[in-house]
Structure 1
């Protein structure tokens, strides 16, 4: 999101120096992709190299939550994620500094390992409830994460119900969450998975292979949920290579009913895309509502 005032590059460099204990003076700065939400930059001093996300100052909590999610996934020692270096707010901007990663081209073996590593993340445990230690964002949309005992209650109320309420404010021809939420609870009523630490926004642009061949996942919207939500989203926008699914299912076999749940879980992301971008996502969301909930 563009910010009119100059970015606080000196402040960022000073904080990098303070956190790492290595002097860092920006010698080169270039613009790189930061996604649809943030501005992205590569900072270099000849030896060190960092990736910086920039946004407006009020978005600092978004970066704080992203750093927490990355640290939590890294702590499981199951899958590579970018290491957060520091974050802060200054001169009308907020920023998140991450280690710089070099992306390469994956082969079957590396994508197979990606699937295995994601399954291991989902099996790492860490919570008896669904939710997360703080609310975060999915794209730029707030994502509420109150601790909840039931997966059906959590997903119905704090995923689909929340997004539907936003969608109705944007366009009135969506069904009332008061009608949808009970149906979702009924549909998921027998589904009580062990809470899994999920990436939360795992489309094909948020998974990559490094030049070393190591798989990495990026830009999370982390919480404890049903591991199938990650698997479902990998199939939503382009999909991952076949080796990924083979690797995942070698650790975590497919469960009955997944194909139906996949539609429900991906409806959350289509509603979010409608709330962010509008356009044809409205019709797609309405079709998915009819397909899985008959409304």
Structure 2
């Protein structure tokens, strides 16, 4: 196996041959650790173990299911293994809606997070401040597009210059998961079992909802359970979906160019 597997084996005392690669792990190595007493843990690699652990604790502190932290080591995060069946039933969607509403009920005085973070090679500028249009336009869109080809950069920069006219000045700073899609949502027995792989910060709650609808459409019970949405939120959705689309373009290449182009065009960018 890999050097990471060797390190996990050394930390846990579990032989490398008992470590199993888990599905996903596009941006970091993830292993299932089967311990001799029958317990299972998850070992995840990454450069910001302490930051991710703090984010998972923040989610759990909001009363939302998240894996328990079993250990923090250099570049290795050990987590409770959360059994899940991947069946997104109506009950699971309803449970998710209530949990995300509870997560978004946690607020702060500023947007951002105490520490920067990253998706693979994409750095997230989490500097805290009180100007939401600036945070989204500069610290999410412009920063993410900075290493793209010039035509993309210029289109994003022109859009960012219009953020004050397109986004509310000071929406409630809600605790966000930050990467809310089905792959980071664990469900079991018609309920939410846990949220994983967070990229938390405080921001407009519509950011999580926009991400959740980028690759799919939650059914009506999710929205009923989540609660009322702000007026004109669908008009802002493309602006918020543009950030994860830019991240995907950066990380996974030109197959996401059409998505970025469509979202930019939808908001006049």
User: One fold, TM greater than 0.5?
Assistant: yes
TM-aligned CA deviation for residue 34 of structure 1: 4.0
Any idea what SS the aligned residue of 1:280 has?
A: helix
Partner of residue 114, structure 2: 133
User: Are 1:201 and 2:187 matched, yes or no?
Assistant: no
Partner of residue 179, structure 1: 158
Partner of residue 87, structure 1: 72
Compute the TM-score of the two structures, normalised by the length of structure 1.
Answer: 0.82
TM-aligned CA deviation for residue 243 of structure 1: 2.1
Q: 209, 214, 219: which one pairs with 1:236?
A: 214
Question: Does the 8 Å contact 2:171/2:204 carry over to 1?
Answer: yes
User: Are 1:39 and 2:29 matched, yes or no?
Assistant: yes
Partner of residue 127, structure 2: 146
Aligned length: 265
Partner of residue 261, structure 2: 286
Question: Does the 8 Å contact 1:204/1:239 carry over to 2?
Answer: no
Change (3 A) 1:219 1:110: same
Q: Distance in 2 between matches of 1:206 and 1:5?
A: 22
Structure 1: gaps (5+ residues): 15-24
Question: Does the 8 Å contact 1:129/1:148 carry over to 2?
Answer: yes
CA distances 1:82-124 after superposition (whole Å, capped 9, x unpaired): 11222222xxxx2211100110234322321210111111012
Partner of residue 53, structure 1: 44
User: Are 1:272 and 2:250 matched, yes or no?
Assistant: no
User: Are 1:124 and 2:92 matched, yes or no?
Assistant: no
Question: Does the 8 Å contact 2:56/2:198 carry over to 1?
Answer: yes
Partner of residue 236, structure 2: 261
Compute the TM-score of the two structures, normalised by the length of structure 2.
Answer: 0.90
Q: Distance in 2 between matches of 1:101 and 1:215?
A: 7
Any idea what SS the aligned residue of 1:51 has?
A: strand
Any idea what SS the aligned residue of 1:197 has?
A: strand
Structure 2: gaps (5+ residues): none
Any idea what SS the aligned residue of 2:152 has?
A: coil
Task: Name the Cα RMSD after superposition.
Answer: 2.2
